[in-house]
Amino acid sequence: MSSLESYFGALPDPRAGNATHRLGDLIVMMIAASLCGASNATEFSLFAQERRQALSRLIDYEVAPSHDTFSRLLRLLDPEAFGRAFAAFAAGFARACEEVVALDGKALRRAYEKGLAASPPLTVSAFAAETRLCLAAVSPGAGENEVEAALKVVELIDLTGRMVTADALHCHKRMAKAITDGGGNYLLALKGNRRHWVARAEQQLAEITPDLAERAETSHGRDEWRQAEVVAAAEPLMSGHKAFIRITYRRDQDEPLTRLFMASTVLSSQQALDLTRAHWQIENGLHWMLDVHLDEDLSRARKDNAPANTALLNRIARNILQAADADKVPISHRIKKCAWNDAYLIQAITHMR
């Protein structure tokens, strides 16, 4: 248990000095409960009570914490410190390699205060497409937005040799500088929110003969055709900028659509096809799993820091589940195995070293 304890046990404890349970023990309980399908403070308390025999192999406690204890901890725990610990934990078992790191925000649909259903809290995650692990996550603080949270995420991870992809919201000079200063490259979507840059991209793609490649494939019952055009930028528009990319794609008999990108390296057209596609793994590999298997969109944890801390717990659990089984076992089955098999649960947690 030294691994989880070393990363999360040293967090600043926001509770009173006479607290009965150690902070590290409570975090271990919540992570273990999340692996078994628990998703709120009441279920965390029930898990600690009913699975004490299994948890005793990891931590020692006499009486299970109440749901108020877990609720209070989630509300008071500093999400920035928790997020830094999570990033260090993820870096400890993420394979250091050159890969795509996708940035994207995800709303916690039901974690809103009364009257604020139209603006639920969100969390921005960095997802490694090859290792399929969440590397870091940040929720915007008071007065901040998704742009600020994404910049904080970039600061938490080692970008050396990695390609960062993001949608058009994050195509701006501050993001480009943060990525290049961190030793990484970027491939950022370019849309009408940067109309002068769009005009420059379209002009150069029209004037210069691009490197071109196309690909046709059938997947999930539909035919898809994609074409990439790459031209070197005549002059950089932001830090590290070296190329414009245009992707044209068509599904079945629909009208073709186009997307523009700015890149910090002159990719080949084949690389452009691969990398622009890799970004969307964050939707299927992270966001979909959080909602379908860990019920994140159903969470009503909405007070103080609870939404941000609940999101981090879910991402810790998702990483552990991803690495829990080398065989092609569905994540839903891994959750059930954690719930039904003490040895499998302990192995899943202690494997993350």
Binned at pLDDT 50, 70 and 90, residue 224 comes out as: confident
**Residue written as tokens 């390699």?**
97
Average pLDDT, the chain: 90
Supply the pLDDT for residue 98.
65
Task: Provide the CA 332 distance to its chain's centre, in angstroms.
Answer: 19
**Measured between alpha carbons, how far is residue 151 from residues 125, 199, 286 in Å?**
11, 26, 19
Q: Is the pLDDT of residue 97 over 60?
A: no
Position 79 scores a pLDDT of: 95
The tokens for 300 are 């009503």
CB atoms within 10 A of CB 81: 14
> pLDDT digits over 242-293, tens only?
999 999 998 888 888 999 999 999 999 999 999 999 998 999 999 999 999 9
Residue type, 52: R
* Cβ atoms of 212 and 236 closer than 8 Å: no
pLDDT at position 86: 93
pLDDT of residue 352: 58
Domains of the chain, by residue range, sit at 2-82+303-351
Confidence of residue 1 (pLDDT cuts 50, 70, 90): very low
- 196 burial (CB, 10 Å; 0-12 / 13-18 / 19+) is exposed
Asked if the model's pLDDT at residue 207 lies above 60, the reply is yes
Lowest mean pLDDT among 11-20, 160-169, 265-274, 330-339: 11-20
Q: Given its phi and psi angles, is residue 243 left (phi above 0), alpha (psi -120 to 50 degrees) or beta?
A: beta
- The model's pLDDT over 108-119, given as tens digits with 9 standing for 90+, comes to 887 877 777 777
pLDDT at 134: 94
Give the separation between CA 214 and CA 87, rounded to whole angstroms: 37
| C-alpha span between 62 and 126 (Å, rounded) | 38
